[in-house]
Amino acid sequence: MIVAGGALALAAFVQAFARLRRRGRPDLAGFDRAALFVLGIAIVGVALLSPLDALAERRLSGHMLQHVLIGDVAPALLVVALRGPLTFFLLPPAVLKRVARIATLRSLLGWLLRPRVAFAIWMLALGLWHVPLAYDYALAHPLAHDAEHLSFMTAGLLVWMQLVDPARRRVLGRSGRLAFACCLFVPGQVLAGVLLGSPVPLYASYASVGDQQLAGLVMLVEQATSLGACAAFLLPVVPRIPERNRGRLLVRHPVRVAD
């Protein structure tokens, strides 16, 4: 299922990439985009099909690394790769026309892409699956474990679509996306803090407090890195005033330059 999903995603990207380049727009479908998309798919494969998957069954830190890779790192790379017209070319024309005719599906997609809905889905996935009873149940039941991974991936894609805005919907402005990143950062750090600060193991499947603290550190560092980079990109750039113009501007706008 994982291999089939990855192959389908790559096939969709390749046809979108080729169609845009055939139309004479290599600037909108550069090889940097292809590299990012392939890297995103590869990270999902590494998280779920490599020895990391076996490690995740023995160590909470390995499991947490697996979760942040499929729920944050890979979605971020995939969405960044698809920003702009590539998003609209991802589905072949015939499929896109059929989707456009289904009003219910259009309404559902529009609802899922609302910032509040995306954040709620992300919070539910993060909060519910990390309840010890649910976490241990997923580890013991393969179908529930697959559902857990799918929910993390879906939630990650939804929130990064708000942060990156690949289709240029402009539902959130720059400041709105910055606030959205902060809203994602706080709950993740609370969970990381719980894992770091608990003196006893929280999950029956993992008995080591040290490994639990390492899992908290993994989440803390990954979120700080990914969301921190996003926030830095969203912060407005203050233009540098040439030295020769500062005196002239100081006379015309003394308050603005002084501030």
Mean model confidence pLDDT for the chain? 89
Whether the pTM exceeds 0.85: the reply is yes
- pLDDT per position as a tens digit, 81-117: 999 899 989 888 888 888 778 888 888 888 999 999 9
The confidence band for 2, taking pLDDT boundaries of 50, 70 and 90, is confident
Mark residue 170 as left, alpha or beta (left: phi above 0; alpha: psi -120 to 50; beta: remaining): left
b/e 83-105 (16+ beta carbons within 10 angstroms → b): bbbbbebbbeeeeeeeeeeeeee
Task: Give the count of beta carbons closer than 10 Å to the beta carbon of residue 54.
Answer: 10
Residue 79: what pLDDT?
95
CA distance 87 to 16: 8
CA distance 164 to 186: 19
Stretch among 46-60, 85-99, 114-128, 155-169 having the lowest mean pLDDT: 85-99
**Coarse DSSP helix, strand, coil percentages of the chain, rounded to the nearest 5 percent:** 80, 0, 20
- pLDDT per position as a tens digit, 109-125: 889 999 999 999 999 99
